[in-house]
Amino acid sequence: MSADESTPVHDDAVAELTSIRQSIDNIDAAVIHMLAERFKYTQRVGYLKASAGMPAADPNREQVQVARLRQLAAESHLDPAFAEKFLNFIVAEVIHHHERIAGGAK
């Protein structure tokens, strides 16, 4: 049987795959919207830090966040190391934004 032949099992699998992928697409959209919302708040933090002469990076806050997100990941059956890498990627971008804001505030 070739890959393009239709059977009830194949058709059911294709329908389920389409449904699952739609759910994944919806979750991806939600993640992007949540990240955009998060960056609105971190931008506010950046302006506040710049106006107060505070450094862009806050290692103590970052350490607390890593521990918190690793715990959340473990509770959610997600690899804590992946969650930490994801957070580190976001934090690096936030620090870059804060440095750019601070540079413009001078």
pLDDT digits (tens, 9 = 90+) for 62-93: 999 999 999 999 999 999 999 999 999 999 99
Residue 92 CA to residue 76 CA, distance in Å, equals 24
In a domain, 3, yes or no: no
Residue 56 CA to residue 99 CA, distance in Å, equals 6
pTM flag (> 0.85): no
Parent domain of 96: 8-105
In a domain, 75, yes or no: yes
Average pLDDT, the chain: 94
C-beta separation of 61 from 42 below 8 A:
no
Assign residue 23 the CATH number of its domain.
1.20.59.10
In a domain, 86, yes or no: yes
In a domain, 72, yes or no: yes
In a domain, 79, yes or no: yes
pLDDT digits (tens, 9 = 90+) for 12-34: 999 999 999 999 999 999 999 99
C-beta separation of 84 from 70 below 8 A:
yes
Number of structural domains in the chain: 1
Sequence-ordered list of residues with C-beta below 8 angstroms from that of 29, at least 6 positions apart, any chain: none
Nearest to 87 by CA among 54, 57, 62: 62
In a domain, 33, yes or no: yes
In a domain, 2, yes or no: no
